[in-house]
Amino acid sequence: MTIEDLKTRLRHRIQTQGPISIADYMASCLTDPTAGYYTTRDPFGQKGDFITAPEVSQMFGELIGAFFLQAYERMGSPDHFQLVELGPGRGTLMADLLRMASLRPKFINAANLTLVEMSLKLQKIQTKTLSKSPLRPGFAEQFDQVADGPVLLIANEFFDALPIHQFVKTPNGWVERMVGLNETGDLAFGLGTGRLSDRDIPATALGAADGAILETQPASNAIAEAIGHRIKEHGGAALFIDYGYLKSAPGDTLQAIRKHAFDDVLANPGKADITAHVNFGALASACHQAGSIFCPPLEQGEFLLRLGLLERAGVLGNGKSHKQQETIRNDVERLAAPDKMGQLFKVLAVSDTSAPLAPFDPATQGKQ
């Protein structure tokens, strides 16, 4: 099977078995073994379909490294712990993180690095990227395969690619949105028979007009709960960074990106990245229910600036040419400016203790 025939297979599946959920459609498009977007290609960077923060500047990963160095010390600097990244892309973030972490040899000596990545193609790229780093990665397909022990975990632009469900407000309640076939036999959105339980309807959706869309993310919440439980039982901290919103509310955030531009979600299954905005309030609740402590999310710009983005940019630019300094300034703006990545992207921290976790406000830790 090839990428080109995934749409044909999806149409045949719907024709013979009936419409599929948005979640099933996303899973097929992104992780189909022979034609999935992430299983068959390297989508990152200028030559791919989108650029993530680590690809913008080394400063991003370095500041994440600084965050984990202080988190490690706050854990009591254990002799052994699991350093984990979910969806590590090309391995760029981890390479930059480890360069900063190398300032503390004990951190490096204690860490066991595991990258949670199901794509063999990306595993090879990640291994090459990290070939000169102080740690060699091991790989797992799922988080629950990571070895026991305290954990420091980073998930950057990971949850946005996990399948979501969508429900549409109708006179008969919230009905699940499905992918079916139109009169010409092409993929099209429609309504199924599944309904959203009354107890799962957020207060912000009460009184919504007919046609409004509400999204749920059970797959993301389940992983967040597993991470929260792991941290509660074994100790550690996790950092979730993604584009998203803070509370459940009606809205359609399903989107496709292809060649750095928006694409029709149903037009090119397997050839475009399909994502949805992340509900950070739901992630925090899932971690909290598992018994871990969370810090109310910060916007990415504020998070990076508090960690010393401007100071790090100054160090990098010192003695460089005007052109190089201008590039660094542009990178800072792209990472932190409200009209770039700074406001849309949120950062959620989870830990095993209410002790201060910079740069988050310790007075708000563990509170909704």
Q: What is the mean pLDDT of the chain?
A: 93
Average pLDDT over residues 190-208: 94
Q: What is the token pair recorded at 316?
A: 């990098």
Question: Could you read off the pLDDT of 262-291 as tens digits, one per residue?
Answer: 999 999 999 999 999 999 999 999 999 999
Q: 355 pLDDT band (50/70/90 cuts)?
A: confident
> 3-class SS at 150?
coil
Where are the alpha helices (H) located in the chain, listed in sequence order? 6-17, 22-31, 37-40, 53-56, 58-74, 92-101, 105-110, 120-129, 218-234, 280-289, 300-307, 309-317, 322-336
> 3-class SS at 35?
coil
CA angle 219, 278, 232 (to 5 degrees): 60
| Contact partners, residue 222, CB within 8 Å, separation at least 6 | 286
Q: Where are the domains of the chain?
A: 40-163+217-364
What's the one-letter identity of residue 231? I
Closest by Cα among 93, 186, 293, 204 to 84: 93
Residue 216's pLDDT is 97
Question: Could you read off the pLDDT of 227-251 as tens digits, one per residue?
Answer: 999 999 999 999 999 999 999 999 9
CATH 1.10.1060.10: does it fit domain 40-163+217-364?
no
Q: What percent of the chain has pLDDT over 90?
A: 87
Report the range of poorest mean pLDDT among 64-68, 155-159, 295-299, 330-334.
Answer: 295-299
What's the one-letter identity of residue 202? P
pTM: 0.94
Report the chain's C-alpha Rg in angstroms: 21
Residue 363 reports pLDDT greater than 60? no
Question: Could you read off the pLDDT of 103-152 as tens digits, one per residue?
Answer: 999 999 999 999 999 989 999 999 999 999 999 999 999 999 999 999 99
Residue 49's pLDDT is 62
Burial class (CB in 10 A: 0-12, 13-18, 19+), 323: exposed
Residue 259's pLDDT is 83
Distance CA 64, CA 87 (A): 15
Alpha-carbon torsion 15, 20, 22, 26, what sign?
A: negative
| Under 8 Å between Cβ of 249 and 282 | no
The DSSP H or E segment spanning 43 is: none
Main-chain dihedrals φ then ψ at residue 35, nearest 5 degrees = -140, 10
Average pLDDT over residues 58-77: 96
